[in-house]
């Protein structure tokens, strides 16, 4: 699925890295706990989260993720947007809740991966 | 690459939001050395978790990274309160982090287990009231 399609499906606002919207991604995960993302996620390119602080961007950077979707109308500040832009990570913001946003992406073919062991 | 490359960072313990800056920089430096993405990811995740730990528990510290042809070594040194029971601290889910850290997305008791999981070798030397030195190594496949 293209990141641009994620933006359309979630009626999301694009906050940075428009040039990456054509990038294909193959899996996603949803979590507000970055420790769990660092522990269990493997090869997932999209992070959906309701958590808003710079560690979300750094966690995605460490995991080589390509896109972060902020749910529940959460908005990152300019410092976070600058960090993401520096790493080429697309930031999207949607009004949807985490469960709904994950469900829409999953039912449109963007599945999760097995838990890494 | 001949010999070894070393990187040194001071980790500021006063501001949680800036934690991880050293790990982001190391990731960029390792990319420039042309190492495989998988090796870079393992090193940077392990170091990031360690950096977060130093900020949450120890008021910061130092991070040293040594890159040779065979391996990458990460040494995290702090002068925090020390770890009273290392075996307990290594258990997944055990955490002494305060609630405000959990609301920031950390403190789930996964940091040290993650650091062990992503590295080939991890050693913790800690003395209560003195500080902690965590040494991690990731081997570079030939």
Mean pLDDT of chain A: 93
Nearest to A73 by CA among A94, A88, A91, A59: A94
Chain A residue numbers touching B24 (CB-CB < 8 A): 58, 61-62, 87
Complex ipTM over 0.95: no
Residue A117 included in any domain: no
Q: Is A56 on the interface with B (CB under 8 A)?
A: yes
A43, A62, A63, A89: which to substitute to probe chain B, counting the most B Cβ within 10 Å?
A62
Residue A114 included in any domain: no
Distance CA B89, CA A58 (A): 24
Residue A24 included in any domain: yes
Could you report the per-residue pLDDT of B90-121, keeping only the tens digit for each? 999 999 999 989 999 999 999 999 999 999 99
Distance CA B100, CA A57 (A): 19
Strand pairing class (A67-70; A90-93): parallel
Determine, for residues A58 and B111 on separate chains, whether the beta-carbon distance falls below 8 Å: no
Instruction: Please tell me the distance in Å from A21's CA to the nearest CA on chain B.
Output: 22
pLDDT (0 to 100) of residue B20: 95
Instruction: Please tell me the distance in Å from A105's CA to the nearest CA on chain B.
Output: 23
Which CATH number fits the domain that encloses residue A12? 3.40.1390.20
Chain B residue numbers touching A63 (CB-CB < 8 A): 41, 45
State the total domains in chain A: 1
Residue A82 included in any domain: yes
Per-residue pLDDT band for A113 (boundaries 50, 70, 90) equals low
Q: Is B117 on the interface with A (CB under 8 A)?
A: yes
Residue A39 included in any domain: yes
CA dihedral B90, B91, B93, B94 (to 10 degrees): -70
Could you report the per-residue pLDDT of B10-51, keeping only the tens digit for each? 999 988 988 999 999 999 999 999 999 999 999 999 999 999
- pLDDT for residue A23 is more than 90: yes
Distance CA B31, CA B125 (A): 30
Instruction: Please tell me the distance in Å from B63's CA to the nearest CA on chain A.
Output: 17
pLDDT (0 to 100) of residue A114: 57
Chain B residue numbers touching A54 (CB-CB < 8 A): 17-18, 20
Residue A75 included in any domain: yes
Question: What CATH fold (topology level) applies to the domain B5-139?
Answer: Heat Shock Protein 90 (3.30.565)
Mean pLDDT of chain B: 95
Chain B residue numbers touching A38 (CB-CB < 8 A): 45, 48-49, 110, 114
Structural domain range at position A72: 3-107
| Sheet-wide strand order for B71-78 | B5-12, B60-67, B71-78, B131-139, B121-127
A12 φ/ψ angles, rounded to the nearest 5 degrees: -95, 150
The sign one gets for the Cα dihedral B66, B37, B25, B118 is negative
Could you report the per-residue pLDDT of A67-89, keeping only the tens digit for each? 999 999 999 999 999 999 999 99
Query: Minimum mean pLDDT among A1-10, A94-103, A107-116, B62-71: which range?
Result: A107-116
Listed by start position, the domains of chain B span 5-139
């Amino acid at each position: 699925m293209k990141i641009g399609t994620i933006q359309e499906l979630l009626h999301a606002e694009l906050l940075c890295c428009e040039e990456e919207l054509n990038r294909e991604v193959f899996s996603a995960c949803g979590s507000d706990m970055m420790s769990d993302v660092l522990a269990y996620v493997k090869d997932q390119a999209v992070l959906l989260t309701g958590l808003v602080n710079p560690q979300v961007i750094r966690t995605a950077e460490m995991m080589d993720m390509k896109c972060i979707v902020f749910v529940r109308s959460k908005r990152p500040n300019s410092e976070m947007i600058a960090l993401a832009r520096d790493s080429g990570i697309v930031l999207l913001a949607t009004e949807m809740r985490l469960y709904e946003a994950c469900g829409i992406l999953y039912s449109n073919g963007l599945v999760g991966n097995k838990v890494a062991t | 690459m001949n010999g070894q490359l070393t990187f040194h960072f001071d980790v500021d313990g006063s501001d949680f939001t800036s934690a991880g800056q050293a790990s982001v920089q190391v990731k960029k430096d390792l990319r420039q050395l042309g190492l495989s993405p998988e090796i870079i990811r393992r090193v940077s995740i392990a170091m990031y978790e360690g950096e977060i730990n130093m900020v949450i528990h120890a008021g910061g510290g130092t991070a040293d990274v040594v890159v040779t042809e065979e391996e990458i070594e990460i040494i995290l040194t702090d002068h925090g309160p020390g770890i009273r029971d290392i075996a307990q601290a290594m258990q997944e889910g055990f955490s002494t982090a305060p609630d405000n850290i959990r609301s920031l997305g950390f403190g789930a008791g996964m940091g040290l287990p993650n650091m062990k999981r992503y590295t080939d070798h991890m050693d913790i030397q800690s003395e209560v009231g003195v500080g902690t030195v965590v040494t991690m190594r990731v081997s570079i496949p030939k």
